A and B are shown apart, each in its own frame.
Chain A
Amino acid sequence: MAGYEGLRYASLGQYIPLDSPIHRADPRVKLVGAALLTIAVAIATTYSANLLLFVAIFALLKWARLRARDALLSVRPALAFILLLAAMQLLFYNGPEAQTKVLVAWGPLRISVASLRVVAVSLVRFVDLVFLTSLLLNTTTASALTYGLERLLAPLDALGLPGHELSMVGAIALRFIPILGEALETIVQAQASRGASLGGRSRWQFLQNARRMAALIVPLFVEAYRRAEEMTLAMQARCYRGGRGRTHLIRYRLNRGDYAALGASVLLFGGILVGQYIAHWP
């Protein structure tokens, strides 16, 4: 089973240690920037807005010294599926403005100006978001991410919401992925040695599959709860009492470049909004 190989290396922060302005940027700025650009990409429906965003994001990727090919590598297995979906969308799209201007019609199938745009936009949007994900995760360490998250959520603490706790949950999760991965490997091996077969699962024996799955998942949860229990004690023993009164060893200070980057992403976001909804770009 290929999926169990290299489990211990499975981690969210596939940080690639390079030296670039993006790598050095403050994690808070990167998080806010990524969020703004993600929203911008999600709401951009016109050709011009998408072109602008694509150029901006591609430039950032180059600036971070990341390669577009590496970023896209993860989606290659799904390429055929993506193209199939795009083709279906192109032929069967019947949104509100689907009847606008039909370019090709063949029986029940028709390609209109609107469906062409929807397909083109969703493909570009997809590539944009793949790049954005790499931009954030490949240039930022897990601890920097947690720090940025905690700082950004700090205003929530003032409102009595668990901002600090939220980032703590994230930090603990990132730390325990490899550990639970190892635990899972052990469970798989233990069950294999008891003669439980894990390979060659037929998709038709789906009740058996669910039961077999439970045999893997139940020990994993038990393990997780046992560790959570110990972790609770250890944190208490180290005087943890939540975010109140906590200080930080490592502090980031926003420099001029960070402010500039922040300003640029706000500007881009605003530009998309204005261009699309007020200036009515094509």
Chain B
Amino acid sequence: MADFLIRVEGLRYVYGAGSEAPVEALKGVDLAVPRGEWLALIGHNGSGKSTLAKCLNALLLPTAGEVWVKGLNTRERAHWLTIRQTVGIVFQNPDNQFVASTVEEEVAFGPENLGLPPAVLRERVDEALEISGLTALRQANPHSLSAGQKGRLAIASILAMRPECLILDEATAFLDPLAREAVLELLGRLHQQGMTLIMVTHHMGEAALADRIVALAEGRIALEGDPRAFFADEAALRRLNLSAPAAVAVAAGLRERGVALPPILTERELVEALVNVKERLWAR
């Protein structure tokens, strides 16, 4: 068996089980995430993607089915600390995640909960601040940071627990393009260093950066594949009411009008391909 960091088998999750109006959010999901993968989880509101993310680090326990992290079952209470330390999760609104009144103490909160000795805490905090580029702001009040800095701080405070996998639950949803760029740049660096990333997102351009995309619809996996294959399946995308990233859509439109283009995924690829086309036209 390959080295899977997270394995999900037949996962079902019901909100308000036993109440008058139970809502089934996940209806049987199977998923395996290999170490070092960058996975994008997409789907519409209510598709169950956030629920799935919360099941991956024991914030929610399966109603049925199993979730294993590093071979540890999330049902075992004794493993929660290890599981939550291994799989860190960053939520949408940083303001609702910050506990402390300085950046440095905010980053220290997770490791402090793990009960690490002060010297190790200091080392972890310095390291996480360094990676996220917040060292100069260590004494600042988290509330006074810019949106992009808040986003990076939220990630840094998870990094300080030295996780093996980072889940971003729509953590870039409210960021302006510049701040989003800064956060994505940080994620790219982490991925290169071998961090497993799971990104829950609405943004197709972001999803295109991943190694693999999984689309959820009505609590089931509806479509999955690497970005090129994923966005090439236009019929399936239309059925799921998902749109391809702008670059992919533009390329498809051009092909329809008879422009010969190689497979396109990102804006940069599109620009390069168009420059090529232009040069070919000039040469002719």
Contacts and interface: CB of A to CB of B under 8 A. Distances in A.
Q: Does A touch B (CB under 8 Å) in the complex?
A: yes
Interface of A: 141-143, 146, 168, 171-172, 174-175, 178-179, 227, 230-231, 233-241, 245-251
7 contacts: A171-B101, A236-B84, A238-B161, A239-B84, A239-B161, A247-B117, A247-B121
Given A245-B115, A247-B115, A247-B121, A233 B110 contact: no
Contacts of A168: 99
Nearest to B88: A237
Contact of B81 (A239, A247, A250): A239
A234 B96 contact: yes
B15 to A, nearest CB: 13
Contacts, number: 91
B143 A178 contact: yes
Pairs A-B, 4 closest by C-beta atoms? A249-B108, A234-B97, A230-B96, A238-B110
Contacts of A234: 91, 96-97
Nearest to B81: A239
B4 interface: no
Contacts of B121: 247-249
A232 to B, nearest CB: 10
A141 B139 CA distance: 12
B93 interface: yes
Contacts of B13: none
B57 A237 contact: yes
A175 B98 contact: yes
B85 to A, nearest CB: 6
A248 B54 contact: no
- Most A-side CB within 10 Å, residue of B95, B108, B111, B121: B95
Nearest to B54: A233
Nearest to B167: A237
Contacts of A240: 109, 113
B161 to A, nearest CB: 7
A150 to B, nearest CB: 11
B59 A233 contact: yes
Interface in B28-72: 54, 57, 59
B119 to A, nearest CB: 10
Given A237-B91, A237-B158, A249-B105, 12 more contacts: A143-B102, A174-B101, A230-B96, A233-B59, A234-B97, A237-B89, A238-B157, A239-B161, A241-B113, A246-B113, A248-B112, A249-B112
